[in-house]
Amino acid sequence: MPPRKNQNPRPTPPIVVYAPLGELKVYELSEAEFERLAEGPTGQLHLNFALAMLPTALSILVTLQTATIESNRIYTSYLVAFWLLLVQGLISLFRWWHSNRSHQKLIDDIRARMPKRPGIAEQMPSTTVLLEPGPVPAIDAQDSPPDAVE
């Protein structure tokens, strides 16, 4: 006779071990602040442009200083390209720096809300909780906390 299959198709739940934190700080956020944090720093594209344009401008400057260019038209084209890349790269770098500061300011403003000395400091009991598979105990009406006295 073949062995019987398990009647319970659900897998056994995992064993959960809880390691308490030393301190847990909770910050309240508005929906707008949460959205701004979720978007991340807005200037990352500006940083990418700056990191592409500034080395290219440097390469053109090195080319202008080391190579002998016979044609005035080509020399002027290199010179115009150098100045355009340098100016646009510096503008992109400044815009990234400015937007990165505003994102960091938002984070600092949220962190500044935490009082220096919290009003209520409560130590939670540190126990290890092991959840064993089995039936969930029923809650009796007698086990529930008493209602507040008026």
| Residue 125 maps to a domain | no
103-145: per-residue pLDDT in tens? 888 888 888 888 776 556 566 666 555 555 555 555 555 555 5
| Residue 19 maps to a domain | no
User: What is the percent of the chain where pLDDT is above 70?
Assistant: 72
Per-residue confidence (pLDDT) for residue 122, from 0 to 100: 62
| Residue 150 maps to a domain | no
Domain with 71 in it = 31-112
Average pLDDT of the segment spanning 7-23: 79
| Residue 55 maps to a domain | yes
Distance CA 69, CA 57 (A): 17
Neighbours of 98 (CB within 10 A): 12
Distance CA 63, CA 21 (A): 58
Domain total of the chain: 1
Per-residue confidence (pLDDT) for residue 13, from 0 to 100: 83
Instruction: Provide the 8-state DSSP code for 130.
Output: -
| Residue 75 maps to a domain | yes
**Burial (0-12, 13-18, 19+ Cβ within 10 Å), 57:** buried
Asked if residue 22 has pLDDT above 60, the reply is yes
